[in-house]
């Protein structure tokens, strides 16, 4: 039974790590769009959508690493 729990934790950790990487990539891709560049030129900051993708990517990645590392 404990082995099944570890397998699920590893799979979930890996899935979260991949999802976090995808969200980082998606946020970076969106930050390079023309609309976001104009918004950044006017306001001096990235749009909220980009920031939420970066934050979501960071949270998913950290939780994924914690699940992968903890025994």
Q: Which residues contact 68 (CB under 8 A, 6 or more apart)?
A: 10, 13, 14, 17
State the pLDDT at residue 5: 82
Other beta carbons within 10 Å of 45: 10
Domain that includes residue 24, residue range: 2-69
Q: What's the pLDDT tens digit per position in 39-63?
A: 778 888 778 888 999 999 999 999 9
C-alpha pair distances (Å), 52 with each of 1, 36, 67: 37, 14, 22
State the pLDDT at residue 2: 62
Domain count across the chain: 1
């Amino acid at each position: 039974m404990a082995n099944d729990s570890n397998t699920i934790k590893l799979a979930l950790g890996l899935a979260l790590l991949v999802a976090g990487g995808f969200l980082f990539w998606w946020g970076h891709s969106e930050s390079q769009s023309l609309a976001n560049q104009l918004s950044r030129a006017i306001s001096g900051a990235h749009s909220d959508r980009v920031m939420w993708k970066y934050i979501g990517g960071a949270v998913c990645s950290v939780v994924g690493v914690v699940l992968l590392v903890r025994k």
